[in-house]
């Protein structure tokens, strides 16, 4: 699976839903964003078991479909430092390894 999304659009959507992620979760999966790619739509979800927030963004280009989870802390901090540019996510379907490509 592979898709391209604008960095500032992705950051703004993730920051909006990240408010429901608690600093001390009882389940480690709740520290993650769930990404769901279907066609050219990327749906992102965050939850604390009581409240669930979802947002959707159009991707620039997409190959394949699927679900994967990414740690909120690992993803949000680097995104804040990037200027507006296209980000390419490439997910290895066999081991769910995620590669994030950007300029510089």
Cα 85 to Cα 35, 46, 104, distances in angstroms: 20, 24, 10
Q: 8 and 84 in contact (C-beta within 8 Å)?
A: yes
pLDDT at 82: 92
Is 93 inside a domain boundary?
A: no
Mean pLDDT across 92-101? 90
Is 96 inside a domain boundary?
A: no
Please give the Cα distance from 28 to 86 (Å, whole number).
29
CATH of the domain at 42: 3.10.150.10
Maximal CA-CA distance, the chain: 40
Is 95 inside a domain boundary?
A: no
Evaluate the CA torsion angle 48, 39, 62, 99 in order and state its sign: positive
Q: Identify the domain containing residue 18 by its residue range.
A: 2-72
Mean pLDDT across 30-46? 96
pLDDT at 46: 96
Is 90 inside a domain boundary?
A: no
Is 42 inside a domain boundary?
A: yes
Overall domain count for the chain: 1
Q: Are strands 61-63 and 2-6 parallel, antiparallel or unpaired?
A: antiparallel
The pTM score is 0.91
Mean pLDDT across 36-59? 95
């Amino acid at each position: 699976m592979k898709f391209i999304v604008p960095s500032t659009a992705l950051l703004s959507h993730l920051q909006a839903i990240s408010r429901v992620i608690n600093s001390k979760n009882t389940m480690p999966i709740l520290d993650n964003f769930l990404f769901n790619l279907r066609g050219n739509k990327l749906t992102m979800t965050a939850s604390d078991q009581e409240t669930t927030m979802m947002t959707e963004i159009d991707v620039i280009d997409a190959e394949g479909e699927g679900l994967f989870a990414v740690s909120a802390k690992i993803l949000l901090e680097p995104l804040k430092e990037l200027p507006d540019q296209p980000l390419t996510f490439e997910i290895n379907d066999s081991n769910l390894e995620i590669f994030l490509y950007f300029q510089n």
